[in-house]
Amino acid sequence: MNSFKPIILAGGSGTRLWPLSRTQRPKQFLRLTDATNSLFQQTILRLDGLEMLAPQIICNEEHRFLVNQQLKDIGYQNASILLEPVGRNTAPAIAIAALNSLNNGEDPLLLVLAADHFIENISCYHDAINKAIKLANDNYLVTFGIIPKNAHTGYGYIKRGKEINGAHFIESFKEKPSQETACIYVDSGNYYWNSGMFMFRASVFISELKKYAPSILDFCMQAINNAKIDESFLRIDNDCFTQNPSLSVDYAVMEHTSIGVVVSMDAGWSDVGSWSALWQLGEKNEFGNCSESNVIAIDSRNNYIKTDNTLVATIGVENLVVVCTDDAVLITQKNKDQDVKFIVDELKSQEREEYRQYPLNYRRWGSHERLDKGPRFQVNRITINVGSLISKQYHQHRAEHWVVVSGKAEVILDEMSKIYEANESIYIPPGCIHTIKNIGDYPLEIIEIQSGDYLGEDDIIRIEASAK
């Protein structure tokens, strides 16, 4: 049996890639190494050519519509999406995925992947997976060890033991080492970088989890048994799941099991964990700058410069990271980019929204992007998918003006329905119950101008709460 079920772990906030990566739109959903697909989409697409079952995605509730949209964009309509109520690290997440597979009457091989990794050599990647399939079919718990290119101190390490069928038993796991220790590991030739990718049969993993972390298994069994289906999502029970300790699968199982093996991989892997990692992966010009078309760099070398829309110009700078979004700018030395998380911590302590929110957010019906904001106004771009509609709602403190840019809309104002098309506008006064539906054949685009004394999100009184 060579087929397997991909389990994509799509949680995490990616704080080291702020300001592009934020709580509402973390790095796995960004197009960082590819102009077309996000890291999450690439994680699934690079499995093409292998014999696999429908993917299973584990994410948090805040990203459910973003995950759903990105799956649709790459043609994966049959993937299942499990919603974690809170993050509890990888052991509970993988337990939920394995139990859900068993509950569906299957006992597949599971290929567990992080949604935010980059892999350059797909052929070598597939070779490693095929080797792991054979070992997993023999009831081993397989992890993938990356052949180290340097003495990296930002990764954990795996020490290999006795050889078995072209792989090695796991002798031990090592925490992120000092530079001196990392050099010893790499020079010995017996250590791999810990990739955090795994393959095993669902029932075998559950059996080992029962031995070494029975409380996690008990809480996850209760959580999956009490899960509820919500449209295309499976909501994991909050009360049961939150009782889990926050443990990685390494700590919970892999460090204790006697059936753990490591398959080596040399496929150009990166966990894309920093801006300097993206500089290393990116295409650089003759001056060593990795930048985009909207950048002018004069007498500047070895910089990573990324901008959403704003023109960025540099003169006489070297070894910098410059990242410009619509609402924030980051400037740091490349060798200090691991400290970006302290900026995020400071934003949290000041209760600023820039650590969490991004101007563009995805909803059940489409997307909402803030374009401008002032003391008594806010301008948004609203995109509504074909056949979708926003919830029926009203506002107590603000008025709204809608201008249809493209598409065809049915607008209901206090039960009166009217059709609007491009270049037509609609005024919604405070207290007016309203909704809008895309009745055209392509996405409906609207520019919305909000005006009033108070423009907070809590001034949305929904008549149909299910259609947020």
Q: Kindly state whether residues 430 and 447 are assigned to the same domain.
A: yes
CA distances from 153 to 40, 56, 255, 282, 379 (A): 25, 32, 20, 21, 45
Q: Kindly state whether residues 282 and 248 are assigned to the same domain.
A: no
367 burial (CB, 10 Å; 0-12 / 13-18 / 19+) is middle
Q: Does residue 410 lie in a domain region?
A: yes
- Here the tokens at position 172 are 């031990």
Q: How many CB atoms lie within 10 A of CB 43?
A: 24
Mean predicted confidence (pLDDT) in 9-32 = 91
Q: Kindly state whether residues 14 and 148 are assigned to the same domain.
A: yes
How many distinct structural domains can be found in the chain? 3
Supply the Cα-derived Rg of the chain in whole angstroms.
24
Q: Kindly state whether residues 394 and 338 are assigned to the same domain.
A: no
Mean pLDDT for the chain overall = 94
Q: Kindly state whether residues 315 and 380 are assigned to the same domain.
A: no
Domain boundary among the residues 217, 241, 270 is at: 270
Q: Kindly state whether residues 223 and 265 are assigned to the same domain.
A: yes
Q: Report the C-alpha gap between 220 and 247 in whole angstroms.
A: 13
Q: Kindly state whether residues 201 and 313 are assigned to the same domain.
A: no
Q: Against a cut of 0.85, is the pTM above it?
A: yes
Q: Does residue 193 lie in a domain region?
A: yes
Range of 219's domain?
Answer: 4-270
Residue 219 and residue 162 in contact, taking contact as beta carbons nearer than 8 Å: no
Tens of pLDDT, residues 392-444: 999 999 999 999 999 999 999 998 999 999 999 999 999 999 999 999 999 99
% pLDDT > 70, the chain: 99
Residues 6+ apart with CB under 8 A from 398: 430, 450, 451, 452, 453, 454, 455, 459
Q: Kindly state whether residues 77 and 145 are assigned to the same domain.
A: yes
Q: Does residue 171 lie in a domain region?
A: yes
Q: Kindly state whether residues 107 and 216 are assigned to the same domain.
A: yes
CATH (domain of 378): 2.60.120.10
Q: Does residue 358 lie in a domain region?
A: no
Q: Does residue 353 lie in a domain region?
A: no
Tens of pLDDT, residues 283-320: 999 999 999 889 999 999 999 999 988 999 999 999 99
- Here the tokens at position 95 are 């337990």
Q: How many CB atoms lie within 10 A of CB 450?
A: 19
pLDDT for residue 174 is more than 90: yes
- Amino acid identity of residue 222, one-letter, is Q
**Tokens 């249809």, residue located:** 404
